[in-house]
Amino acid sequence: LQYNLIASHACGVGEPFPELVSRAMLVLRANTMLKGHSGVRLIVVEKLLSLINAHIHPVIPSQGSLGASGDLAPLSHLALVLL
């Protein structure tokens, strides 16, 4: 994805989620991608797992998401750490 697309959706506000929640989001996203329906290369999952193993977690604001699923802003903040 283009950097601008991800950056434009990273518009969350409020207190950041606790580290445990951010790490859980990384694990859940990696698990979802491993199912093979996300259209991402294996290296993306490997990068997520390397963040988890290195105890690096993104700072994800707790409010400000848009869309029906409610995860656009949080997942954009999660994706920024991969770029």
* pLDDT on residue 65: 72
* pLDDT on residue 9: 87
Q: Dmax over Cα atoms in the chain, in whole Å? A: 33
* pLDDT on residue 41: 93
Q: Which 8-state DSSP code applies to residue 18?
A: P
Q: Which amino acid is residue 31, in one-letter code? A: N
State pTM to two decimals.
0.84
Per-residue pLDDT of the chain (83 residues; tens, 9 = 90+): 589 989 988 888 999 999 999 999 999 999 999 998 888 999 999 999 999 999 999 999 998 776 667 788 898 999 999 98
Does domain 3-80 sit in CATH 1.10.275.10?
A: yes
Domain boundaries, the chain: 3-80
- At 20, give phi and psi (nearest 5°): -60, -40
* pLDDT on residue 60: 93
